[in-house]
A = this chain, B = another copy of it.
């Protein structure tokens, strides 16, 4: 396929003229040019002199420029005079730069470097006497830009019809993408050319518990690659999505062009803005090396430092959970018959007939506590502890949970005391069923209960359609809800791990207690229909770019026919690949998701999960290719211990680890976990070898990963 708009491409060649503003990255490799063409703002981006992004249009369309008086105005036809995308003249230009080092509360490295040159162009729209600023920050790893709306006479309140930020690539790129949706990110990754996205789109959009698909659009972040002899890896995403809808990317397959598409509310509005205000940053991370791109912290750098006064309560935790057994269907969240009709505050749950399948019962929870404590875990998640699960989903029920009342067989006081006596903190679970209004009503009482019993982390959930009805998981209102809950949790010194919420875009810098989100297909999908073997090699290039994910690895018993004879479901991984995920996937609240009974059968392999850290002083992406493999080394926080993990896709693969990242002259003992020679993710997933070896920074070890296999190494200094 050949790009049609050759004219426009040629035009971009003429771009840098007297009217253009040029900005270079600190290392000089990137160059961004901004120009008004006929009053319309454009930018482009070059790397080492080559065009990465052609002249691409900027601007927003509005419903009305000053105020929205009545909802009926939302429905009025488009009126170009309200738009902020034309008729501009440049009235000011400000430059700035920064080179700072900052420490994340929890992170992949001790220090994150925030180094950029900045250009802020003030544009005046004479017809309406309005000013906006387009701000560009050019880092050594790419470009971020956003719109800023100063408070001014003619721009105080407005409602966005659409943000039309274009990213126009000169050639057809390879893309790793999932379908765009206002309510779910839980889709299988596709690997196609940009030009092939529309043809693939329909089959890529499978069913989901709550979904509002946007045809021919893809989710942000999208991972791209210019193939050939000078490959270039490109990640298109956004940063600091706060008080604004999350964006998707409309695909112009003919022209290899993306354009923002914001999540609408039920009125079709895409953001209610009061000035002064700024949009999220649109980000384009670029590197000739996949490893460097994956290591980029640009999205975090584009977020604001936290204003929290105390972050001392925020800590990494490895946890187990009464969870996987419900996911696979062995036990259940509900105490009584699921899909029964119950009412919080009216139904006497102690009088319901228990099905005997309720997992969160005193006996079972104590067994989990015992096992978790014996193996050095500090946390135990328990789902299904509170009343309401009988009819929690699918009924658009607003008052579905109260978050404070345990089931009759869950003695919250006794269990917490028992857990604390063994050094375990229970992890709270607040499933909202999407009923955000109800959660806001109960949040204070729910967090007070957590404080009372010593819970310091909560897993929140938003399965199903959002209430307020008509809002979406990624619309402005709901995003505000997520961070409102984070702030309230901070008041109670509680960490949040949020599921079915919007993908993080670096907000953990600002809200460091908002540890992670789910926002992609996690391990649970292995029980729902399966993840592809390459899934975990793509996630670090997409979902993880803006923040950690609660992927819940650690499944040793991958075949579900173990539980249910004849069941064909299985987790598409070798056992060793599951170990490697603890290193390739950054997650400070890291789960060991399988059942104790399965770990007990492989205590030698389980040792790696017991040993591995969840927070890091350093991270080295040794080698990576989206959709193929990821090899990562990390240095555990405050120690000299290193961990290495390698995973591969559906293809077997050799990789030789060069341990030169270790301290010179030091001796280490490496414990090596590798796929057995006869291991196979379909036929023999539990075959592995474990051995120890003395290594130094000069060592090299070749690992043979079977298809969907991996390796893991635990490294400790010897004396």
Task: Fill in one digit per residue for A42-72: 1 if any B CB lies within 8 Å of its CB, else 0.
Answer: 0000000000000000000000000111111
In the complex the two chains form, what is the Cα distance from A470 to B159 in whole Å?
A: 15
Task: Fill in one digit per residue for A200-229: 1 if any B CB lies within 8 Å of its CB, else 0.
Answer: 000000000111100000000000000000
A67-B469 contact, Cβ under 8 Å, with A157-B341, A341-B151 = no
Give chain B nearest CB distance to A478 CB in angstroms: 11
Q: Which among A394-402, A530-538, A558-566 touches the partner chain?
A: A394-402
Tell me whether A266 is interfacial, beta carbon within 8 Å: yes
In the complex the two chains form, what is the Cα distance from A465 to B74 in whole Å?
A: 12
Q: Which among A169-177, A251-259, A268-276, A317-325 touches the partner chain?
A: A268-276
Residue with the highest number of chain B CB atoms closer than 10 Å, among A209, A265, A396: A396
Give chain B nearest CB distance to A315 CB in angstroms: 29
In the complex the two chains form, what is the Cα distance from A159 to B465 in whole Å?
A: 15
Give chain B nearest CB distance to A156 CB in angstroms: 4
Q: For the complex formed by this chain, how many copies does it contain in all?
A: 2
| Minimal Cβ-Cβ distance residue in B for A155 | B341
Task: Fill in one digit per residue for A155-167: 1 if any B CB lies within 8 Å of its CB, else 0.
Answer: 0110100000000
Tell me whether A375 is interfacial, beta carbon within 8 Å: no
**Residues of chain B lying within 8 A (CB to CB) of residue A469:** 71, 265-267, 269, 468, 470-471, 477
In the complex the two chains form, what is the Cα distance from A437 to B395 in whole Å?
A: 21
Are B468 and A468 neighbours in the complex by a CB distance under 8 Å?
yes
In the complex the two chains form, what is the Cα distance from A269 to B468 in whole Å?
A: 13
In the complex the two chains form, what is the Cα distance from A289 to B717 in whole Å?
A: 99
Q: Which of B68, B156, B468 contacts A470 (CB 8 A)?
A: B468
Are A157 and B395 neighbours in the complex by a CB distance under 8 Å?
yes
Are B468 and A159 neighbours in the complex by a CB distance under 8 Å?
no
Give chain B nearest CB distance to A681 CB in angstroms: 33
In the complex the two chains form, what is the Cα distance from A71 to B466 in whole Å?
A: 9
**Residues of chain B lying within 8 A (CB to CB) of residue A211:** 70, 72
| Minimal Cβ-Cβ distance residue in B for A275 | B341
**Residues of chain B lying within 8 A (CB to CB) of residue A267:** 266, 469-470
Task: Fill in one digit per residue for A467-493: 1 if any B CB lies within 8 Å of its CB, else 0.
Answer: 011110000010010000000000000
In the complex the two chains form, what is the Cα distance from A135 to B395 in whole Å?
A: 26
Report the interface size for chain A: residues with CB under 8 A from the other chain: 40
Are B266 and A470 neighbours in the complex by a CB distance under 8 Å?
yes
Tell me whether A391 is interfacial, beta carbon within 8 Å: yes
Tell me whether A343 is interfacial, beta carbon within 8 Å: yes
Are A395 and B67 neighbours in the complex by a CB distance under 8 Å?
yes
Tell me whether A98 is interfacial, beta carbon within 8 Å: no
**Residues of chain B lying within 8 A (CB to CB) of residue A343:** 274
| Minimal Cβ-Cβ distance residue in B for A393 | B69
Are B468 and A437 neighbours in the complex by a CB distance under 8 Å?
yes
Q: Which of B68, B151, B266, B394 contacts A396 (CB 8 A)?
A: B68
Q: Which of B71, B265, B437, B441 contacts A465 (CB 8 A)?
A: B71
**Residues of chain B lying within 8 A (CB to CB) of residue A524:** none
In the complex the two chains form, what is the Cα distance from A444 to B341 in whole Å?
A: 30
Are A396 and B159 neighbours in the complex by a CB distance under 8 Å?
yes
In the complex the two chains form, what is the Cα distance from A480 to B441 in whole Å?
A: 13
Given A159-B396, A265-B469, 15 further pairs, Cβ under 8 A:
A68-B394, A71-B210, A71-B469, A72-B211, A157-B391, A265-B470, A266-B266, A266-B267, A266-B469, A272-B397, A274-B341, A274-B395, A275-B341, A398-B477, A469-B471
A residues within 8 Å of B by Cβ? Answer: 67-72, 151, 156-157, 159, 209-212, 265-267, 269, 272, 274-275, 341, 343, 391, 394-398, 437, 440-441, 444, 465, 468-471, 477, 480
Complex A-B: 28 CB contacts under 8 Å: A67-B395, A70-B209, A70-B210, A70-B465, A157-B341, A157-B391, A157-B395, A157-B397, A265-B469, A266-B266, A266-B469, A266-B470, A269-B469, A272-B396, A274-B341, A274-B391, A274-B395, A274-B397, A398-B477, A398-B480, A437-B437, A440-B440, A444-B444, A468-B468, A468-B469, A468-B470, A469-B471, A470-B470
